[in-house]
Structure 1
């Protein structure tokens, strides 16, 4: 629908290529709108083109549009797309970033003085609160208490109102709700004493200012006239209150979401605002995006079937809040059927996944287009070892951040310096010349380990330079400079919007939200892991189903689902497949054998590992790494073990990686007890794959020799 007087060329440029439903979203510029968008249906494309169409048509002033999403990475991607569409002046931020900006601006006139310091992590303050109340809490308990306090605050609860509102919730860290309320109050008291605020306070205080000061509220509403909220199914009551105050009595709001992808209710997110949008705005236009451009018909059918299976089973008593899901319609050509594989144990499952990944790589699928997704981060170790043993590079999502890597920091310094004197040479060649001084070559090195990882980081920057030069230079008919690239990199570093790096992705299902790959392996799909054991209510199980739905819809073409019957080789086969697979998997898959195991795996199953001290069977992976059971005393020298731990701590701090990613405690114990004298001997220890051997082997041997 063209606006009066608009040039046809502009309409074609902004709206061309959109399907009918996307075009309706993009061309409807006023009034409340609710976009129900399934996975892979191009929702970000629709709303960014809507904003760009409004800006170029003159309906929107860029500075008066606020687009809100839930992660800094998503906000950065939205800003990047808007710049590509010539709407770079639009603000795209997270709720917290937008609120913090307003709070910093209005604090002097609303409160006076200097804004309190912002607390990065709650753990230290919660620990102080427990000491004040003479309570004992370990790190895990403090983590759980932090999550509970965050839930309470985004639900707009005070310590006084917490107990009644939290009735029926699981007791965090084993503390009764009254004690949690006391800890909540003590936590607030410690913050007040130290003149600090946390991230939830940013929203709470800004909400308070907007509610109490009509002049400031009017100024904010005069600044922002049009609002777009992405991932609207994830808003918390506090974020919704913030949005209401931004809007005032206006209705210039477009929300986008999918109730079937609500997977963060433990943080206070709720889809009821999305599902009740038309009750709040009766005149709202509702558009459904159901054409799935991401996945093959086979993947889409499985995703639809997972939700349909739930719809067939209403809750007892007829009180069923499960919303009618969107039925996706695949737009891609047919692909392979999803596979279902049952494995005898976790190691065999990891081995068969590594084998299938090796086949995909041989078929030409890049490693960066393959992901292994699991329910809990603790499941990653088996896949790290299996991939390392197969010589396949991988990256742990949530481990070392891309822009924290030393070679990336060095590259940005060099590019920043070169940008000051850059001429008119094409950016792609300039970047290659600059990064060539840091070791980049057009051909990838044949070696693995740290050398290969360094090259892959630099190659990701080169690929990004090529991509941006095409999008913002050649295709846009403008000039993309090295200075423009440096500015883009600095913004991406601030929001952790990393470019694509080669290597198979290992990630939890939660952290995979918003991403997609050509091939996805969903692993560990057994009862107790999917759904997770602590999902003991119908609401909790429903959320686990939605989480699996998110995992399935990450795959474009290849999708593999697997589970194991036992945790350890030779262990009792007491597990059963996830209930969510009932009605989805072929009947034969319940007894389908795993791919042929390696000789080493067969040997382990034929002769279960025994403790070298007392001779009993070893029950856990940690015990098998060390070669003895937990009941038998360690045989290492304390000084050696502590030296290894200190070294690991230093490496973790230097690389911004979690310590366990370098080596787990069990692996360090095995090294301290075995005291290998060579890299070959070190490589025989469980948990020391090829990559870790190349990266850390010499350091480990040097520590052992010095102790």
Structure 2
């Protein structure tokens, strides 16, 4: 395959902007290839240009190459880039999407009949599975069981083989491995009875068909000759098995990953396949991308130091726990400000100071959409929501209402789709961005933001995000051979809707560190960096600490220019300063900012007096409410939020009916303790501090009924 413009222009257009290592990736088109790509080093650019170069030079047939990544958002971004490079026909999917497409196609001929429906949520089926075994499982236990079953299935374990494999995994929901195995089998039986399959079954069934039916395997291998796998460090054993079956012994495989960004081990992801790639393919070249184009030298230096400071556990080879020598990133951007370290008196003061710093950044020109607050657990967001609201700063909770589910967005897409059918847009006559503005005016869009807040402001922000996306696409496609039309814009929106790839909204992002993977901002604030939260309390061995260190590394590398790291010494204003900053900050934060360990004499007094300690992080409990809960207020709660909210709603009704203050019935701390202990009878409820005999008699039955009702949902 050749083009009229010649090979030279292909190289100039596709390879011209790549650095030496990226260019090596893009021009190594055949055989196995392993790309070790650090954060911010342009891995997506390298592999999309590799695919496009292979297509334009005739090495790849677009329909014969499958690019696989791990999120629908990442797949959509890759498709968009490939379209811009003139290789839009290449299949780019997640593992599940690719497997489901094959399963739907081959099921009638390989199995017969119709493919069973896919269940969206495991919880109702697991509840039924436990009920069949006469086992009590509250909502928290059901959630833990769902995660454990998912881990078992992607690890290719059966209910029978699970028991031995789970010996060192703890007890999900407090249940021993044999009980979990029985519920696992019962769950599979419930699915069979109801003719349902789950998302893991999509992969398992595809694997089974490819293994058992040579005709199907031959058909798939004839269709796909080349494979690219992004985020290869997150591959599970089941996904690797599927990939092996797709390959069928061939070696036309390019993998891209970074073991230092493995943060999903709890889901079955393992970097072992990435680390062992050159053992399987001995002659595979390895290209390392270490030039960081995202972050300033100051941010990159801190990220490198976080990984370099890791101390291995004595007697355990790093290879056994998947800790290879990290890639040392080399910053390519200009200098920026040094990362800031903030030690606050308490959580409220920490949140207020972060909100003030964000407000200052916005006033100096940093868009709110380019700022993020990242935390370890979702329960930490409330303080920052309040602080930002008090400061008059808009924010967005990542994981909230889906953008494309909003009414104004659905209406906008209908209007744009209708206009696309009835408008002929010639390049240079009327731009797509201007057409988009004209169409959305009728829905409430204006060039300037409304003075009103609330729903009016949110609606404007949604429409403004669509206009901004049209502007971005017009710029990115300015040099493309394919003209940017309204039809093309509508197609992009429909594809983004299917993959939930929302455009950028104005507002500070609040997100967990896990949810921030794959994203980046100009300014990032990593908050709550204290022991018990970073590392999280249930990380109790070298592998767990390593995963938490990698999670902090991922958080740091989300920042382009401004980076703030903060922690507080007490949970509440006036509370005792018992917290310690994260061990991962030792040697990185300014010396003398706080103690890193409790003095020996304090430890001795604690042992002698045996005052109450937090069961999560082990620090001294300083308030009555914390002693009642048995944990620091800032440590992760062990209750279901829905149960706590049900109890609060009941308390409100009782207080209003009896004209009593709510706290007279039960304080929030007592309700938290009730939700956390989830007592199943009057005796157990009476053991909770703050209940007492009179309240037990007056409210006990109602509280137990609420708990039983929530557990049954």
Alignment TM class, shorter chain as reference: 0.7 to 0.9
Aligned to 2:251: 251
Q: Would the alpha carbon gap of residues 586 and 17 (structure 1) be closer, same or farther in structure 2, given more than 3 Å must change?
A: same
Match of 1:637 among 653, 658, 662: 653
Partner Cα distance (1:280, 1:540) in 2: 27
Paired with 1:377 and 1:633, the residues of 2 have a C-alpha distance of 22
The Cα offsets for residues 202-242 of structure 1, whole Å up to 9 and x where unpaired, read as 00000000011111101100000000000000000000000
Whole-angstrom distance in 2 between the partners of 1:77 and 1:619: 41
Partner of 2:275: 275
The 5 A counterparts of 1:184-203 are 184-203=184-203
State whether residues 580 and 594 of structure 2, in contact with CA within 8 Å, keep that contact through their aligned partners in structure 1.
Answer: no
- In structure 1, what is the equivalent of residue 315 of structure 2? 317
Can you list the C-alpha shifts for 1:460-489, whole angstroms capped at 9, x where unaligned? 1001111222323x3214322212111111
In 2, the alpha carbon distance for the partners of 1:6 and 1:285 equals: 28
Write out aligned runs for 1:76-225 (5 A).
76-225=76-225
Q: Tell me what 2:456 maps to.
A: 451
Aligned in 2, Cα 1:640/1:218: closer, same or farther, shift over 3 Å?
farther
Superposition map of 1:575-590 within 5 A: 575-590=579-594
Q: What is the Cα deviation at residue 635 of structure 1? A: 7.0
Residue 589 of structure 1 aligns to a residue whose secondary structure is: coil
User: What's the CA shift string for 1:178-213, capped at 9, x where partnerless?
Assistant: 000000000000000000000000000000000111
**Number of residue pairs matched?**
610
Structure 1 residues 537 and 476: alpha-carbon distance in aligned structure 2, compared to 1, 3 A threshold: same
Q: Contact 1:263–1:543 (CA<8 Å) still a contact in 2? A: yes
Q: Report SS of the residue matched to 1:21.
A: helix
Counterparts in 2 of 1:639 and 1:63: CA distance versus 1, 3 Å: farther
- 1:418-477: CA deviations, max 9, x gaps? 1111132321111111100011011112332222211111011001111222323x3214
- Across the aligned residues of Structure 1 and Structure 2, the Cα RMSD in angstroms comes to 2.4
Shift of 1:278: 0.1
Corresponding residue for 2:38?
38
Equivalent in the alignment of 2:61:
61
Partner of 2:574: 570
CA change 1:140–1:633 in 2 (3 A) is: closer
The answer (yes or no) to whether the contact 2:344–2:350 under 8 Å persists in 1 is yes
- 1:494-643 paired onto structure 2 within 5 Å: 494-590=498-594, 636-638=652-654
Matching residue of 1:430: 435
Q: In the alignment, what sits opposite 1:671?
A: none
Q: What's the offset of the Cα at 1:585?
A: 1.0
CA distance in 2, matches of 1:134, 1:610: 38
1:210/1:420 Cα in 2 relative to 1: closer, same or farther (>3 Å)?
same
1:609 Cα shift?
11
What is the TM-score with the length of structure 1 in the denominator? 0.84
Tell me how far 1:547 sits from its aligned partner: 0.2
Distance 1:223 1:639, change over 3 A: farther
Query: 2:227, 2:318 → 1: CA distance?
Result: 32
8 Å CA contact retained: 1:427, 1:482? yes
Cα deviation 1:490-517 (Å, max 9, x = unaligned): 1100100000000000000000000000
Deviation at 1:320, TM superposition (A): 2.4
Closer, same or farther in 2 for the Cα pair 1:632/1:134, shift >3 Å? closer
**TM-score, normalization: structure 2?**
0.83
Aligned to 1:491: 495
Whole-Å Cα distance in 2 between the matches of residues 228 and 423 of structure 1? 37
- For 1:631 and 1:410, the matched residues in 2 are separated by 38
Matches within 5 A, 1:640-655: none
Structure 2 runs not aligned, ≥5 long: 597-621, 626-630, 638-645, 658-670, 673-713
SS in 2 for 1:535: coil
2:482 maps to which of 474, 478, 485? 478
Q: What is the rounded CA distance, in whole Å, between the counterparts of 1:391 and 1:563 in structure 2?
A: 23
- Please say if residues 340 and 589 of structure 1, whose CA atoms lie closer than 8 Å, have aligned partners that are also in contact: no
Question: Cα offset for 1:571?
Answer: 1.4
Deviations 1:615-641 (A, max 9, x none): xxx99699xxxxxxx999987434969
Structure 1 position 418 matched with structure 2 position 423? no
Distance (whole Å) between structure 2 residues aligned to residue 609 and residue 330 of structure 1: 46
* Gap change, CA 1:382 and 1:110, over 3 Å in 2: same
Equivalent residues of 1:342, 1:591 under 8 A apart: no
2:563 alignment partner, SS class:
strand
Q: Which residue of 2 aligns with 1:13?
A: 13
SS of structure 2 residue aligned to 1:437 = helix
Contact 1:6-1:57 at 8 Å conserved across structures: no
Match of 2:703 in 1: none
Unmatched runs of 5 consecutive residues or more in structure 1: 593-607, 612-617, 623-629, 642-664, 667-707
The answer to whether the 8 A contact 1:397-1:507 is kept is yes
